Amino acid sequence: MQAPQSIIGLALAAAVALAPGLGSAEEKAKDEPTTQQRDDEQQATAPPDSELVIASNMPMFVPPNRGAPPMRLGGATRSAHKPAEALPRMQALVPEQPGWTLASQPVLYWYLDKTTDFTLEFGLQRVDPQQQIVRKRLSRPAQAGIQRIDVAEHGVKLEPGHIYFWFVKLVPNPDNPEQDKIVGGGIRRVSADDALTQELANPSTSRPHALAQAGMWYDAMDAYAEAIDAHPSDSALQQQRAALLEQVNIAIDSSSR
């Protein structure tokens, strides 16, 4: 039976196999933003000032790194002394492979099916070379459902050309780490190419659809969260977000904002 820290180590080791070459020449270009591309980050990731435009069709996520080592961790409890059903269900809302983002300070999403009094921790680590960036206790969620972690609130920025691993850990018993429950996944910051930058600058573009189609998982998820916050009674938005999650084999009650 592997301890939780060993499980994290396995996810990081898997990512190292992906990190050294960082993919094709085209992907390397995405990792090395020009001055114009750096200026485009705010435009590419911020919600538009004009009226919200969301297409009626379901989004289509196109994974940008098919075949890359998986980094998503589930929430299984690794100790027989604390049955999994006694703990909240947790899920990192990420693809199996490292998800992409345009943002230097993205928002990370995870799911908790019921509130808990147990300690929750957030961690962010860089892969190759391995470096712990953040390790902090989280505030206890006020309600169950989809939860957010804003990287900006932790005072760090993701650098282009690096893969990171983030996780949320639930600690039922500080004296027995084998009871810890951990979920997490990989993230990689890239820069928008000219086509995506132009598409996002168009006020008639459905942002979550464009971002998902371009492989920007974290930004597509955040675009839906922003839209749902703005229009909480629009069930179509929640259905589209659920469809996006189903494409990476995640099924949860996504009606939470």
End-to-end CA distance of the chain: 36
What is the length of the chain? 257
pLDDT at 121 > cutoff 70: yes
Q: Could you tell me the two tokens for 238?
A: 């929640």
* Sequence-ordered strand ranges (E) for the chain: 90-92, 99-101, 107-112, 119-127, 131-137, 145-150, 163-171, 181-189
| Domain definitions of the chain by residue range | 4-246
pLDDT digits (tens, 9 = 90+) for 155-192: 999 999 899 999 999 999 999 998 899 999 999 999 99
Question: Does pTM top 0.95 for this prediction?
Answer: no
> Which amino acid is located at 213 in the chain?
Q
Fold of 4-246: Immunoglobulin-like (2.60.40)
pLDDT digits (tens, 9 = 90+) for 183-234: 999 999 999 999 999 999 999 999 999 999 999 999 999 999 999 999 999 9
pLDDT greater at residue 109 or residue 12: 109
Say if residues 208 and 51 touch (Cβ distance below 8 Å): no
Q: Could you tell me the two tokens for 165?
A: 């691993």
Contacts of 94 by beta carbon, 8 Å cutoff, 6+ apart = 72, 109, 184, 185, 186, 187, 217, 248
pLDDT digits (tens, 9 = 90+) for 13-65: 655 554 444 444 345 445 655 544 454 455 455 544 446 778 889 999 999 98
Say if residues 196 and 209 touch (Cβ distance below 8 Å): no
Residue 43 is given by DSSP the state H
| Whole-number Cα distances in Å, 181 to 4, 11, 86, 124, 231 | 8, 15, 11, 16, 33
